[in-house]
Amino acid sequence: MALQEGDAAPNFTLPTDGGGSVTLADLKGSPVVVYFYPKDNTPGCTTEAKDFRDLIGEFDKIGAKIIGISKDSVKKHDNFKAKHELNFALASDENDDVCEKFGAWGVKKMYGKEFEGIIRSTYLIGPDGKVAKAWPKVKVAGHAQEVLDAAKAL
């Protein structure tokens, strides 16, 4: 089940592009955007990442951090990040543990077939470590701007 507004965001530590790692608890005190996406270099995921990239200056002004999470390997994240000049962390949740904790893992349908995978979703974590806003089923168009507007309102 997806996290709800007001829920404490589960802490996690995941490897990131560039050989680093990110721990959510280390970012407490700042707004954090945690967005889950199915796969690097697919059309919707690329558009979403580029939209966040293009708004990074506005997120920086309010001290907000962005973390994109998928099951892709760190190596794939490195390539995706370089290819599209992404300017925020991409974390690898290869075991889908964090996806499950946030409720971003579940049954999906495509072309009439059901399968399990990452459900495109976003969570705005407030400086207090609680979910300030949740988007459990994201439509990419205009989403990054909507998240920025919500972050500005914190």
Residues with active-site annotation:
45
Task: Give the chain's end-to-end CA distance (angstroms, integer).
Answer: 25
Cβ 49 vs Cβ 55: under 8 Å: no
Report how far residue 15's alpha carbon sits from residue 92's, in angstroms, rounded to the nearest whole number: 6
Q: Which helix (H) or strand (E) holds 151?
A: helix 143-152
Neighbours of 103 (CB within 10 A): 18
CA angle 57, 30, 48 (to 5 degrees): 45
